[in-house]
DNA sequence: CTGATTTATTGAACTAGTTCAATAATTTTC
DNA sequence: GAAAATTATTGAACTAGTTCAATAAATCAG
């Protein structure tokens, strides 16, 4: 198993010794996920906290009419889970589906609680990570209010080229909260400007 | 000083003994804030993590043309701070202004770090609180994508009647990400339906 | 490789929400 | 308590983004 990416991820938030990193990573298991496979569906209880080693996932909701709102994409070096469902063992509000053949490292609820007990420093690590997540979500919300659809599209493809290249326009639309048709029109407009 | 509300807030997230609660609260100081006063401005470094005991604040950004986007309102029992600025001592992206005469309890950066050192359980407390905050921000983002302006208005006034009654329509508009005029039109429409 | 399904593009008609401007109501200030 | 300032309401004209429908392009399953 390759924990390098995960160790780098942890180290970005907090200084940890090699043995501390090894100790933490030792609690994670690996899993391959086929393209199209759901690792979590709305209503199920989220049994894992996952870290994407390769591939890509979409984290989304779908209403009765089946139209999807993609909350975020998780490619390499991102986390996949439903925090509320994992933490409180309640039904998940979100679906998590692999949009590519993927590999994840994951930790179960009991292993995570045990890790917190055995190594209180991990509380600090995840406290810091969660706080950074709050900041990121706040910023995205402000962007959504302050920017037009075209500006959000531009922001997305320039901020996350690695993801933008791998997902369909339909998925980009579901992420930005606009229609697929309008994404097409934005693309056309941008294209004609650049020539 | 009255720490009851703060103690209840902490206890909602985690079981703490009376002496633990007293120990934590002992690190907080009190401050009165006049209506209209800014306790943090964009670019300044956030020196406190605040808890609203009475009154109400708006946490917002403003662009060059001066139009405001209100990220959230913080009345009694809410937190006021700029997490990124407080945690990393960098310039704040947000402004925090009292929209009523208010009273807050606050802790400084050094007192907070000392508290984490002396009582590792506090890391857990704030880890849990931060995770709940992530969930709340994710849900708000989904709501913004899935609901029309009218639905968001309705959700806001029914979910937060206590805040909706105290803030101006202009502020509600800046919070919902729509124009003041459109809020007026929504209100008119709702009013005519109810009679 | 081929047929079947999904996705992307385009245009025309539409609508939710904006902008601008003017007036009324409310709040603030001294 | 009156003048000044801010906020709320209303309507008309506008625009960003949607909906629907039809065709083209790409992807998938066997």
Q: Is the pLDDT of residue A148 over 80?
A: yes
Provide the pLDDT for residue B182.
96
Provide the pLDDT for residue B46.
96
Quote the CA–CA distance of A120 and A118 in Å, as a whole number. 6
Q: For residue range A113-133, what is the model confidence (pLDDT) as tens digits?
A: 999 999 999 999 999 999 999
Q: For residue range A1-42, what is the model confidence (pLDDT) as tens digits?
A: 789 999 999 999 999 999 999 999 999 999 999 999 999 999
Q: What is the mean pLDDT of the segment spanning B163-184?
A: 96
Which tokens go with A59? 């984290």
Q: Is the pLDDT of residue A193 over 70?
A: no
**pLDDT confidence bin for A195, thresholds 50/70/90:** very low
Q: Is the pLDDT of residue A70 over 80?
A: yes
- DSSP secondary structure code for residue A91 in this structure: B
**pLDDT confidence bin for B194, thresholds 50/70/90:** low
Provide the pLDDT for residue B193.
63
Provide the pLDDT for residue B195.
45
- Residue A123 has its nearest CB partner, among B84, B123, B177, at B123
Cβ A46 vs Cβ A85: under 8 Å: yes
C1' (C23) to CA (A108) span, angstroms: 63
- Assess A90–B contact: CB distance below 8 Å, yes or no: no
Identify the residue with better confidence: A66 or A76.
A76
- Assess A63–B contact: CB distance below 8 Å, yes or no: yes
> Does residue B178 lie within 7 Å of nucleic acid chain C, judged by its CB?
yes
Distances (CA, A) of B8 to A69, A169, B88, B135: 35, 47, 28, 21
């Amino acid at each position: 198993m390759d924990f390098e990416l995960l160790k780098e991820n942890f180290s970005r938030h907090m200084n940890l010794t090699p043995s501390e990193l090894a100790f933490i990573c030792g609690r994670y298991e690996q899993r391959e996920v086929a393209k199209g496979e759901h690792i979590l569906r709305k209503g199920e209880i989220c049994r894992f906290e996952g870290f994407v080693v390769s591939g890509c996932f979409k984290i989304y909701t779908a209403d009765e009419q089946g139209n999807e709102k993609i909350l975020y994409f998780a490619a390499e070096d991102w986390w996949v889970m439903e925090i509320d469902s994992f933490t409180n063992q309640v039904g998940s509000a979100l679906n998590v589906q692999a949009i590519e053949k993927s590999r994840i490292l994951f930790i179960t609820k009991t292993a995570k609680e045990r890790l917190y007990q055995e190594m209180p420093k991990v509380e600090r690590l995840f406290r810091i990570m969660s706080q950074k997540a709050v900041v990121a979500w706040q910023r995205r919300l402000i962007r959504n209010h302050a920017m037009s659809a075209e500006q959000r599209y531009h922001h997305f493809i320039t901020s996350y080229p690695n993801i933008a290249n791998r997902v369909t326009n339909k998925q980009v639309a579901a992420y930005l909260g606009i229609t697929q048709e309008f994404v097409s029109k934005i693309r056309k407009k941008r294209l004609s400007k650049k020539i």
